Chain A
C-alpha cells in the first residue's frame, strides 16, 4: 500500500502542491485529471523525488519517509519502489531497446548481465517489440519508444508505476498502441498512477479518478460516478470543456478513447 500525507511542494512563492493526502491500494489503477498547472505532474515527480517535496509523509510498503528529512539512501530506496514513465519517453539514446530495459537491473539491482538481458527479452516480448531488441531509440517511432519507456518501468518491478502524460507527446497514430499496453498492465493489476488527458482511458480502465485543481485533490470517485455526477463545480466545468473539445475534434460517432489534441497541451481551451 502507498500513502501520501500532507504533501506540499512550492516553487518559489507558488505553492504547487497544497497538502495532498492519498492512499493507493495494491493493484489499484488511479487516473489523475485536471487543468494544466494544477500540480498533477509535480505530484508524480514528488513521489519519485525528481522534485523534493517541502513537507509531508510518504509511505510505500515498509518504507516510511518524512520528506523533509529524507536521506540519500532513503531516496534511492524510494525510487526503486516507484517507476516513472515520462511524457517525452526519455530513453537512453546511447543504448538499444534491450539495454534501456536491462540498464536498471544491471546497474541498480546488480544483476548479472545475462540474467538482466534475458529478463529484458521477456519484457520486450510482452510489449510486442521483441524484434526491435537491438534498435536504438532514434530509429524507433514515438509509440515504440514509449512502449520501451513503459518496459523500462516494468523491469524495475516497482510497487507502483507513475505515468506522466504518457501519450501527450505522441502523434495521434501511436496513441492507441501505448494505451493498449497500459490497459494490458491494468488487466495484470499492476498498480498505476496515471496523469493523462485521455478521458476514455480513465473511464474504461481506472478504478478511481482523481480531479486536481490548484494543487489540491478536489474530488475522487469511481469513473462511472465522477464522469456522470461530478459534485464540485470545478470538476463539472473541467469535464464540460474537455468532453466538448473531444466531441468537437471527433465528430458524433468518434471513439471516446481518442481525439485528445496531439500537441501535448491541455485540452481546456474554450470550444467555439
Chain B
C-alpha cells in the first residue's frame, strides 16, 4: 500500500478548475433548453391537446425509458450516419442535445404535476371574477406551480451537472475527460478521481444551498 499524494491533488485542483466552465456551460444550456421544452410538453399534457398529447407521451416514454448514455451515442455516433447534416455535430452540441431531450422528459412530468397540484378552487375563484384562462395561468397557477416544482427541478439540474461527465465518452475534454487524461499521465488514479469527485460534490452543495434559499423565498406566502 502506498500513501495518498496530497501534493498531487493540490496541483491537480487548479488544472481541473479550468475545465469547470465547459461543464457548467453544458449543464446550464441543457437546463435552460430542457426547461423550455418541458414547459411546452407539460402544457400539452395539461390541456390534453389532441394529437400532440399522444406524441408527447411517446416522447416522454422513450427518453425516460432509455439510458442517457445510449441516447448520447445515438445522437453523436448513430444519427449522423442517417442524416448527413448532423455530421457537423460536435461532442458538446450532442451532449447538450442529449441532456435537453433526456431531462425535459422527466421535468415535463414534474411541471405537469405542479400545475395540476395547484388547488383547483383557486382556478375557479379566478374564473369567477372574470379572468381569462391565460390571465389565471400567469397570475395564479404558474407562480404557485413554480414553487411546487422547484425542489424536483433543482434535483434534475444537480443530476444534469453530474451527467455532463458522460460527454467525455463523446471525446469532449470537460471535467471528467480532463481528469481521465491527467490520471493516465500520472498513474495516480485514486488521487485524480477523488479530486474530481470533490469538485462535483462542491458544486452540487453550492447549488443545494442556493436551492434552500430559493425555496424559503418562494415559501414566504405559506408560512403560518
**Cβ contact within 8 Å between A136 and B222:** yes
Which residues of chain A have C-beta atoms less than 8 A from B223's C-beta?
Answer: 136, 138-139
**Cβ contact within 8 Å between A103 and B129:** yes
Q: Indicate if A63 sits at the interface (CB-CB under 8 A).
A: no
**Cβ contact within 8 Å between B129 and A138:** no
Chain A residues within 8 Å of B, Cβ to Cβ: 48-50, 76, 79-80, 82-84, 86, 88, 90-96, 103-104, 107-108, 136-139, 149, 152, 156
CA distance A115 to B144 in the complex (A): 26
**Cβ contact within 8 Å between B224 and A139:** yes
Q: Indicate if B57 sits at the interface (CB-CB under 8 A).
A: no
Instruction: Report the interface size for chain B: residues with CB under 8 A from the other chain.
Output: 23
Other 8 A-B pairs with CB < 8 A, given A83-B129, A91-B122: A82-B128, A83-B128, A84-B124, A84-B128, A86-B121, A86-B125, A90-B121, A156-B130
Expressed in whole angstroms, the minimum distance between the Cβ of A160 and any Cβ of chain B is 12
Expressed in whole angstroms, the minimum distance between the Cβ of B40 and any Cβ of chain A is 23
Q: Across the A-B interface, give the 5 residue pairs with the lowest CB-CB distance, nearest first.
A: A84-B128, A104-B129, A90-B121, A90-B125, A136-B221
Main secondary structure of the interface of B (DSSP, over half): helix
CA distance A89 to B125 in the complex (A): 9
Q: Indicate if B143 sits at the interface (CB-CB under 8 A).
A: yes
Expressed in whole angstroms, the minimum distance between the Cβ of A149 and any Cβ of chain B is 8
Tell me whether A104 and B144 are in contact in the complex, defined as CB-CB below 8 angstroms, given that A94-B221, A138-B221 are known contacts.
Answer: no
For window 201-224 of chain B, which residues contact chain A by CB distance below 8 Å? 220-224
**Cβ contact within 8 Å between A79 and B121:** no
Expressed in whole angstroms, the minimum distance between the Cβ of B146 and any Cβ of chain A is 9
Tell me whether A94 and B140 are in contact in the complex, defined as CB-CB below 8 angstroms, given that A86-B121, A139-B223 are known contacts.
Answer: yes
